[in-house]
Amino acid sequence: MLSTPWSRDFGLPLPVVNAPMGGVAGGRLAAAVTAAGGLGMIGMGSGGSVAALERELPHVQDLAGRFGIGLVDWVVAARPGLLEAAIAALPALISVSFGTDLSWVTAVRDAGIRTATQVYDAEDARRAQDAGIDLLVARGEEGGGHGAAGLATLPLLDEVLAVAETPVLAAGGVGGPASLAAVLAAGASGAWLGTCLAACTESLLSDAGRAALVAAEGGATVLTRAVDVGLGLPWPARFPTRVLRNSFTSRWSGHEAALAEDAAARGELVAAIAADNLDIAPVDAGEGVGAIRAIRPVSEVLGEMCSGAARLLGA
């Protein structure tokens, strides 16, 4: 059986949590991850709102708090009531990432809910611990979606573990048995899994998005700010997003200032997202995307990954 002291303390059969991917990790995915033995997370990304959260919560209403909710710092600030709605749902875990304001921690912990945040260096880890964060997520730059450009997952894990006094999950590029075994052997208390679950049948991703992930190779991603600039989203410059390469990223990555002034190009991006035209619209994907070879249920993906990691670790 694959477990760690942290997963046993949390009551999880498996030491895995799904990343709260906006537009991907809805209530069905969270419920499936929890049913498979991990901790399922509902993700409220750039489009997060009270209404969006309320649409997903019915899928986890029978889980008795065995799920989590992930929020984005600037979205919480822009959408009054979102954090309060997340607390009222009484999840086991609330994560808020991509910002420096950690004042939310007290309210969440006062409600008896554990807290998590992503960290990108030792200073982030120290700051989070000082604020009372219960769980650190060391997210390397291999990961899909938003994150800091900097250290890869294993070097970052070394740096964070050197200062951590709380459990640390590894995120970024963990997509199969070998990479899961590697981060656990390196000292992580578990893994925060994103891309490997995004193509699962229970995710919110469109059929075209799933097909694009299955078809992609490991080198098919790019770290860029072009998507956020094109959509006018106020993501901090520290946090570009890793997506599948397409004609839009090839044209505008490195030319974000010009993009900000090009209304036609920005309109084209919005229209492409509405039409699910993936030659222009983004699909978040980490560097482990090449391991996805089929659209499968969460139970199959996690069962294969965790049983394989257990064999590699001799567990």
| Amino acid 218: pLDDT | 82
Residues 6+ apart with CB under 8 A from 104: 76, 83, 96
Name the residue ranges covered by the structural domains of the chain: 5-200+296-313, 207-275
Structure confidence by residue, pLDDT tens digits, 114-173: 999 999 999 999 999 999 999 999 999 999 999 999 999 999 999 999 999 999 999 999
Q: Are 172 and 148 in contact (CB under 8 A)?
A: no
| Amino acid 315: pLDDT | 76
Which segments within 6-102 are labelled E, that is strand?
A: 16-18, 40-44, 67-72, 93-97
- For helices 153-163 and 177-185, the axis angle rounded to 10 degrees is 30
> Which residue matches tokens 């010009």?
258
> Which residue matches tokens 């997506």?
243
Give the chain's largest Cα–Cα span: 56
> In this structure, what token pair is assigned to residue 40?
């399922």
Structure confidence by residue, pLDDT tens digits, 19-62: 999 999 999 999 999 999 999 999 999 999 999 999 999 999 99
Report the candidate in 300, 279, 297, 301 with the shortest Cα–Cα distance to residue 288: 301
Q: How many residues does the chain have?
A: 315
Strand duo 135-139 + 221-224: pairing: unpaired
How many Å apart are CA 176 and CA 216, to the nearest integer?
Answer: 16
| Amino acid 1: pLDDT | 76
- Give the pLDDT mean for 250-264: 97
Structure confidence by residue, pLDDT tens digits, 173-227: 999 999 999 999 999 999 999 999 999 999 999 999 999 999 998 899 999 999 9
How many Å apart are CA 288 and CA 175, to the nearest integer?
Answer: 6
Q: Are 305 and 1 in contact (CB under 8 A)?
A: no
Q: In what order do the strands lie in the sheet containing 145-146?
A: 145-146, 241-244, 221-224
φ, ψ at 280 (rounded to 5°): -120, -45
| Amino acid 211: pLDDT | 97
Which CATH number among 3.20.20.70, 3.40.50.920, 3.30.465.10, 3.30.420.40 corresponds to the domain 5-200+296-313?
3.20.20.70
H or E element, residue 33:
helix 27-36
Count of other CB atoms within 10 angstroms of residue 175? 26
Structure confidence by residue, pLDDT tens digits, 281-305: 999 999 999 999 999 999 999 999 9
Note every long-range contact of 218-221, with CB atoms under 8 Å and residues 24 or more positions apart, other chains counting: 218/287, 218/288, 218/289, 218/290, 218/291, 219/287, 219/290, 220/244, 220/245, 220/285, 220/289, 220/290, 221/144, 221/245, 221/285, 221/286, 221/287, 221/289
Structure confidence by residue, pLDDT tens digits, 50-106: 999 999 999 999 998 899 999 999 999 999 999 999 999 999 999 999 999 999 999
